[in-house]
């Protein structure tokens, strides 16, 4: 299929090249950094499982910088096709020219390719991932007739959130059994407090009650709530308070309203906040 350059907007992609900038801040919660390095050294693909906003993207950015590899990040969505990842012919002036997609560029450059929320992508995406995730490590490009062999620096990392996926959207065993996997969860309070304080600039003693509240709200997951408060939302809340917003207002905007649209559940969450914060 030939598309004009404008339609490439279907791919949300960011490229980070290793430079002199310091490593993106990442507070490990277990042995995930060592596991990532082993996977990279042995040329094995990695699957990150865990709820949204718990640090997966930050972890990959940190590890790519640490290993000195460029990073191609693609946010997958239900319109994302294999061609969005591999590339396509584009019309330029009167000519058609081949344009590599982010996966192809990562393979050519020996970069890390991170497919965020991979289960959202169309089914044909798994077809291009399979030969890259076994010991062949190849990417056949049917349209150009090329078969690229991934250099040692190439690594495929994918993430997904098992929490809210339905059966239809689960990763197929034939795909998931090609990846090493590491499970992410929200950091324990003694780790989450410094993360939120560092990211927001709010003093740790003021972050402590927010983290306590977040854990009280997370405990409700499964009963009334689909997803617990993320570390990301906690950072938003702390950032608002840091910039002068009243804590009650910031908590409502960042920790309560994003979780539910149901007035009864919202009232319940507000009560939990009152009780937890005293």
Query: Where on the chain is the footprint of Mg ion (CB under 5 A)?
Result: 57, 116
**130 contacts: CB under 8 Å, gap ≥ 6:** 175, 178
Q: Is 54 in the site for ligand ADP (CB under 6 A)?
A: yes
55 lies in the site for ligand ADP, by CB under 6 A: yes
86 near ligand ADP, judged by CB under 6 A: no
Residues β-bridged to residue 16:
71
* Length reported for the chain: 278
Nearer to ligand ADP, 83 or 259 (CB): 259
By the rule CB under 6 A, 56 interacts with ligand ADP? yes
CA atoms within 13 A on the CB side of 111: 21
What the block records as the tokens of 273 is: 């906040």
Write out the H or E segment, with its range, that includes residue 116: strand 112-116
State whether residue 67 is helix, strand or coil.
helix
What phi and psi, each to the nearest 5 degrees, are found at residue 136?
-70, -35
25 binds ligand ADP (CB under 6 A): yes
* Residue 27 contact among ligand ADP, Mg ion, none, beta carbon within 5 to 8 Å by kind: ligand ADP
* Selected range binding ligand ADP among 5-13, 20-28, 92-100, 207-215, rule: CB under 6 A: 20-28
Contact indicator for 157, 112 with CB cutoff of 8 Å: yes
CA distance 207 to 193: 6
114 is a contact residue toward ligand ADP (CB under 6 A): no
Which tokens belong to 275?
A: 């009780």
Q: Which has the closest alpha carbon to 276: 246, 238, 248?
A: 248
Asked if 198 and 55 count as a contact pair (C-beta separation under 8 A), the reply is no
Query: Which listed option, Mg ion, ligand ADP, none, makes contact with residue 105 (CB within 5 to 8 Å by class)?
Result: none
Q: Which is nearer to ligand ADP, 11 or 54 (CB)?
A: 54
Q: Which of residues 104 and 200 has its CB atom nearest to ligand ADP in the complex?
A: 200
- Binding to ligand ADP by residue 27, rule CB under 6 A? yes
Q: Which of 102, 125, 199, 214 binds ligand ADP (CB under 6 A)?
A: 199
Beta bridge partners of 89: 2, 98
Q: Which long-range contacts link 123-127 to residues 24+ away (Cβ below 8 Å)?
A: 124/81, 124/82, 125/76, 125/80, 125/81, 125/82, 125/85, 126/172, 126/175, 127/82
Provide, rounded to whole angstroms, the least separation between the CB of residue 194 and ligand ADP: 9
String marking each residue 151-190 x if it binds ligand ADP according to CB under 6 A: ------------------------------------x---
Coil, strand or helix at 13: strand
Q: Does 52 participate in binding ligand ADP (rule CB under 6 A)?
A: yes
Which of Mg ion, ligand ADP, none interacts with 55 (beta carbon under 5 to 8 A by kind)? ligand ADP
49 is a contact residue toward ligand ADP (CB under 6 A): no
235 is a site residue for ligand ADP (CB under 6 A): yes
- List residues near ligand ADP by CB under 6 A: 25-27, 29, 52-58, 187, 195, 199, 231-232, 235
């Amino acid at each position: 299929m030939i598309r004009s350059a404008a339609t490439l907007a279907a791919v949300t992609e960011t490229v980070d090249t290793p430079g002199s900038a310091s490593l993106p801040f990442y507070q490990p919660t277990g042995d995930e950094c060592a596991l990532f390095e082993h996977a990279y050294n042995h040329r094995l693909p990695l699957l990150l499982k865990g709820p949204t906003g718990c640090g997966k993207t930050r972890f990959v950015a940190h590890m790519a910088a640490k290993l000195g590899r460029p990073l191609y990040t693609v946010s997958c969505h239900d319109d994302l096709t294999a061609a969005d990842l591999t590339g396509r012919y584009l019309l330029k002036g009167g000519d058609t020219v081949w344009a590599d997609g982010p996966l192809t560029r990562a393979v050519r450059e020996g970069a890390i390719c991170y497919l965020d929320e991979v289960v959202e992508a169309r089914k044909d995406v798994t077809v291009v991932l399979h030969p890259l995730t076994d010991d062949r490590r190849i990417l056949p490009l049917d349209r150009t007739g090329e078969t690229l062999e991934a250099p040692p620096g190439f690594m495929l990392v994918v993430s997904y959130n098992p929490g809210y996926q339905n059966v239809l959207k689960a990763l197929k065993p034939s795909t998931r059994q090609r990846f090493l996997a590491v499970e992410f969860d929200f950091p324990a309070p003694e780790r989450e407090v410094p993360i939120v304080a560092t990211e927001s600039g709010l003093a740790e003693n003021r972050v402590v009650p927010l983290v306590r509240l977040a854990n009280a709200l997370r405990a409700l997951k499964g009963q009334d709530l689909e997803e617990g408060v993320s570390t990301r939302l906690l950072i938003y809340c702390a950032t608002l308070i840091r910039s002068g917003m009243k804590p009650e207002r910031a908590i409502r905007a960042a920790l309560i309203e994003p979780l539910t649209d149901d007035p009864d559940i919202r009232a319940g969450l507000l009560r939990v906040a009152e009780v937890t914060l005293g």
